[in-house]
Chain A
Amino acid sequence: MNWQRAAAADAALRAVFAASFEPNGAPAVPDEGGWSGSPARASNQPDPLHSPDTQLLLYARDLARLQRLRRAYERFLPASLDPVAPRPEPPAVRTASALFTDMRGFTGLAERFADDPAGLLNVVNAHLAAVVGAIRRCGGVIEKFVGDGVLATFGARNELQDHCERALAASFAVVGANESLNRRRAKEWGFRVEVGVGAAAGKVVVGTVGTPERAELGVLGDPLNIAARLVARAKAGEVLLAASVYRGAARHVRADLFGDSAVRGRAGQVEIYRIALLRHT
């Protein structure tokens, strides 16, 4: 009867809808073995597993599973990926800013947690949560976690005219968010967590990096290497900026010229600016 089919379709769609929003939502649909506890049927009865209504429910079940898989994997991918229509992207060259963060004194921290590595993970994740929130608030894309640090880009995956200002703002926000974390947890932990930041701007390419069997949508370019070198030299609460990113925001913010410096692995010199955001640095 039409009303029964309509009711089944309605139930199936409601189940999919619920599963899309509930973290552990599972639609009330049969698994491969059919409904558990289904009554036995006579051989001359139509097979309910192959009825249109059951097929609709099975379709709803598969759709809900895909939704759950999507949710599970989305957190491992950059936010800018389109989960609805993932496709190989042609390489795109853009002018963008790259930002690296890195915990200072991590080796000593790891030693402190030598007998409790799970405790170390809790501290690192609390720090990373603060860092990621700060970067996202400024419009950055989290590209990857590098140990206890974060690589983020501004304007690599989408055009951003003000990528320098956003990267600079994110640098400040990262240090500020880490300070808030210290105010909240340092007493309980018995130690402070420190962070340094490095940032640079220039041309980058966004494209598929890897092999046909294993690949990722990655970002490559000189600014990423420079930012990585700068963060290695940044002290606690300090932001080291390549002139390429600082010049984009110099009319707003004052920085100290740190000097022209060679960056390991590069032939050319980099003009570096320094901004201290903690009084003790």
Chain B
Amino acid sequence: MNRVLIADDEPNLRLLVSATIASEECEVVEAADGDEAWALIEQNPPRVALLDVQMPGRTGLELARAIKERSDLAGITVIMLTSKAQQADIQAGLAAGADVYLTKPFSPLELLGVVEHALETA
């Protein structure tokens, strides 16, 4: 079963993202802060991690760096999903290890395409 982690401190954003990508072939797990997200990642690494940048606990950037530093987590595709949309923010996200950088408000079709592509190539 493909596992996708959504880490965001806004419950309704998690609901919208989950509703967009959920399918019978995909298990979605949610974390309300960065520390909970890291615990879930270590416990059972997902194929895809959708990370907000600004969250309580570890930030999305810190999580991306931590994932990319661990060889046993190399299979995780990191997707930033954040309202930080300045060019400098995007560069910082990609530098931290994000494979894809998406901004809010997000396009459901674009998000679905990115996640499906990540799951197909994982």
Contact = CB atoms under 8 A, between A and B. Distances in A.
B112 interface: yes
A215 interface: no
B105 A254 contact: yes
Contacts of A276: 109
A251 B19 contact: no
B88 to A, nearest CB: 21
B16 A252 contact: yes
B23 A249 contact: no
A254 B19 contact: no
B6 to A, nearest CB: 12
Chain B interface bracket (under 10, 10 to 19, 20 to 34, 35 or more): 20 to 34
A180 B12 contact: no
A275 interface: yes
Task: Please classify the interface of chain B as helix (H, G, I), strand (E, B), loop, or mixed, using the class held by over half of its residues.
Answer: helix
Interface stretch (A13-21, A75-83, A167-175, A262-270): A167-175
Contact of B19 (A169, A179, A180, A184): A169
Given A176-B19, A176-B20, A180-B23, A249 B12 contact: yes
Contacts of B108: 172, 253-254, 275, 277
Contact of A173 (B13, B22, B24): B22
Given A251-B105, A253-B106, A176 B22 contact: yes
A250 interface: yes
Task: Please classify the interface of chain A as helix (H, G, I), strand (E, B), loop, or mixed, using the class held by over half of its residues.
Answer: helix
Interface string A177-194: 001100110000000000
A138 B12 CA distance: 10
Chain A interface bracket (under 10, 10 to 19, 20 to 34, 35 or more): 20 to 34
A172 B19 contact: yes
Given A180-B24, A279-B109, A252 B12 contact: yes
A276 B113 CA distance: 12
A162 interface: yes
A277 B109 contact: yes
Interface string B6-31: 00001011011011111111000000
A255 to B, nearest CB: 8
27 contacts: A165-B15, A166-B12, A169-B12, A169-B16, A169-B19, A172-B108, A173-B19, A176-B19, A176-B20, A179-B23, A183-B23, A183-B24, A184-B24, A249-B16, A250-B105, A251-B83, A251-B105, A252-B13, A252-B16, A253-B105, A253-B106, A253-B107, A253-B108, A276-B109, A277-B109, A277-B112, A278-B109
Interface of B: 10, 12-13, 15-16, 18-25, 83, 104-109, 112-113
